[in-house]
């Protein structure tokens, strides 16, 4: 699954992160979802996004405000994702491909950016994306099978 290099010799995997992973990390600093985002900060892998996907991230995170978290916190988090992500322009829409149009949006980014995998908690929702050569992994699977090498 390691196709790209950063610097001179470190292989990097490129993925798209489904909104379900961001929500899980947003809700708790424990677990694989938060660890995955921490690793994103450390440049352990590449992360592809598109403008529509970033807007979806923001809308979903705003719906999950709790405790002392504010809309400004969401804005700062989305800014972090934009700074770390590789923005991919989509020229070809794979719709309808999956049941949920928002899931199709994730697949479109993954295909256009030549990603290795989609990281999600909703494996069943993305099963058909494997037909396009994409691995469909939970955050834990991604961390243990890919980033632990």
Q: What is residue 2's predicted lDDT score, i.e. its pLDDT?
A: 44
pLDDT in tens, 31-85: 999 999 999 888 889 999 999 999 999 999 999 887 788 999 999 999 999 999 9
Give the start-end residues of each E strand in the chain.
4-6, 10-12, 14-17, 46-49, 86-87, 117-119, 135-137
Two tokens, residue 144: 């243990």
C-beta atoms surrounding 109 within 10 Å: 25
Percent of the chain's residues with pLDDT above 70: 88
Grade residue 4 by pLDDT with cuts at 50, 70 and 90.
very low
Angle made by CA atoms 134, 124, 62, in degrees to the nearest 5: 90
Average pLDDT of every residue of the chain = 87
Q: Which architecture, in CATH terms, is 4-146?
A: 3-Layer(aba) Sandwich (3.40)
Distance CA 62, CA 75 (A): 9
Percent of the chain's residues with pLDDT above 90: 65
- The structural domains of the chain, with segments of one domain joined by +, span 4-146
The dihedrals phi and psi of 50, each to the nearest 5 degrees, come to: -135, 165
Distance CA 57, CA 74 (A): 9
Two tokens, residue 48: 């592809």
């Amino acid at each position: 699954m390691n196709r790209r290099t950063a610097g001179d010799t470190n292989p990097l995997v490129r993925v798209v992160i489904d909104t379900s992973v961001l929500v899980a990390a947003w809700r708790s600093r424990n677990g694989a979802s938060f660890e995955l985002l921490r690793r994103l900060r450390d440049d352990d892998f590449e992360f592809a996004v598109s403008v529509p996907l970033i807007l979806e991230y923001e809308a979903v995170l705003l719906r999950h405000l709790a405790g002392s978290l504010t809309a400004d916190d969401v804005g700062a988090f989305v800014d972090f994702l934009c700074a770390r992500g590789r923005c991919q322009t989509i020229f070809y829409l794979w719709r309808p491909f999956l049941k949920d149009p928002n899931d199709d949006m994730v697949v479109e980014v993954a295909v256009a950016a030549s990603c290795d995998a989609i990281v999600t908690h909703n494996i069943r929702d993305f099963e058909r994306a494997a037909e396009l050569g994409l691995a469909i992994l939970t955050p834990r699977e991604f961390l243990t099978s890919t980033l632990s090498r």
